[in-house]
């Protein structure tokens, strides 16, 4: 099995563990911004240490870092932050389920951005797998409340969030490519370190400006949030390693298996029952994964 497939599956599994930990964070007393910041805050030193070790093993042979690398890192970091805030904003809307469904168009948007910005070909098999996976994820999405508008602010937020998540994936893929000819794992951890440090600085400044006192609450809640940061950075290492080896569209399409892992965890650990519709959605996502794997072979 190709290395990028293993890295993607490992990343999706680790993010499921992070989801399980985050579900226990309700008593931490942090705002949405504080909880998001804590993930980056604790991830940054781990990623920086991993990057230093990787560069040391490579003889510190870091290629010249031009504006291209910096631009891709900034695009990925900002895109992820804003998309996360937009997604959280959806939960305050009555028809947030519509918006969440629209965020699932991320995989299609990643494929389009990959062609437009990086000139990478997706191909018929890739588009087929993306389409099957999208259908499965939409089935797994929560249905809108009766009377909720299908188009409106929620749909706009969802599409924008999906697009920004897509641009983020392209930014991270571009950042790893800008570090060639370093080994793929070195490129992954260096790009990850640059992104997480950027996100920590930007979010730290934002919280200091918009939410006075939240930085102190993050520091006091480290016992609860540290495991989330550790699992988050381990999952990110898997994503970045996969991005350094494969087209971001394929990585994100395969990464949709994360929602299957999440539903399985909900059923096994939180005793939440799966509906027939969710079972059909899982089957379609698994089918899309098989199509991708067979296509990669």
What pLDDT sits at residue 123? 82
The whole-chain average pLDDT of the chain stands at: 82
Percent of the chain with pLDDT over 70: 84
Residue 279 confidence (pLDDT) above 70: yes
Of 81, 76, 52, 53, which is closest to residue 248 (Cα–Cα)? 76
Cα–Cα distance, 146 to 156 (Å, whole number): 19
For residue 99, what pLDDT is reported?
Answer: 61
Is-contact 297 6, C-beta < 8 A? no
> What are the distances in angstroms from CA 37 to CA 33, 111, 140, 179, 187?
6, 29, 28, 27, 24
How far is the C-alpha of 105 from the C-alpha of 42, rounded, in Å? 30
pLDDT winner (highest mean) among 70-74, 220-224, 233-237, 271-275: 70-74
From first CA to last CA, the distance across the chain in angstroms is 8
Q: Quick one: what percent of the chain has pLDDT higher than 90?
A: 27
Query: Is residue 294 within 8 Å of residue 172, measured between CB atoms?
Result: no
Band of the pLDDT at 260, cuts 50, 70, 90? confident
Chain segment 22-41, per-residue pLDDT in tens: 666 555 667 778 877 887 88
What confidence score (pLDDT) does residue 143 get? 58
Question: Would the pLDDT of 76 be above 90?
Answer: yes
**Which range has the top average pLDDT, 34-43, 140-149, 229-238?**
229-238
Residue 91 has pLDDT above 70, yes or no: no
Cβ(289)–Cβ(127) under 8 Å? no
What confidence score (pLDDT) does residue 117 get? 87
168, two tokens: 């983020």
Q: What local confidence, expressed as pLDDT, does residue 297 receive? A: 56
The pLDDT value recorded for residue 189 is: 94
pLDDT value at position 264? 74
- What pLDDT is recorded for position 270? 61
- Please state, in angstroms and as integers, the Cα–Cα distance from residue 8 to each residue in 40, 63, 131, 149, 261, following that order: 20, 26, 19, 35, 13
């Amino acid at each position: 099995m190709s290395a990028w497939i293993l890295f993607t599956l490992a990343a999706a599994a680790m993010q499921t563990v992070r989801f399980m930990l985050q579900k226990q964070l309700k008593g931490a007393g942090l705002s949405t911004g504080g909880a998001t910041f804590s993930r980056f805050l604790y991830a940054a030193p781990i990623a920086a240490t991993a990057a230093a070790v990787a560069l040391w093993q490579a003889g510190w042979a870091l290629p010249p870092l031009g504006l291209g690398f910096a631009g891709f890192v900034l695009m990925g970091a900002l895109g992820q932050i804003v998309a996360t805030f937009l997604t959280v904003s959806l939960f305050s809307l009555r028809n947030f389920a519509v918006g969440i469904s629209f965020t699932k168009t991320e995989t299609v948007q990643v494929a389009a951005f990959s062609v437009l910005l990086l000139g990478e070909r997706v191909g018929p098999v890739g588009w087929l797998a993306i389409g099957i996976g999208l259908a499965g994820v939409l089935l797994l999405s929560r249905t809108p409340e009766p009377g909720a508008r299908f188009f409106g602010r929620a749909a706009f937020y969802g599409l924008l969030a999906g697009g920004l998540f897509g641009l983020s994936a392209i930014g991270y893929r571009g950042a790893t490519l800008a570090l060639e000819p370093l080994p793929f794992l070195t490129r992954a951890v260096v790009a990850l370190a640059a992104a997480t440090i950027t996100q920590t600085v930007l979010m730290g400044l934002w919280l200091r400006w918009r939410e006075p006192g939240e930085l102190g609450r993050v520091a006091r809640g480290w016992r609860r949030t540290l495991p989330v940061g550790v699992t988050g950075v381990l999952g990110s290492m898997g994503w970045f390693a996969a991005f350094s080896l494969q087209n971001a569209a394929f990585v994100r399409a395969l990464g949709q298996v994360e929602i299957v892992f999440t539903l399985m965890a909900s059923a096994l650990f939180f005793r939440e029952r799966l509906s027939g519709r969710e079972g059909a959605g899982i089957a379609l996502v698994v089918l899309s994964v098989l199509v991708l794997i067979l296509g990669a072979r």
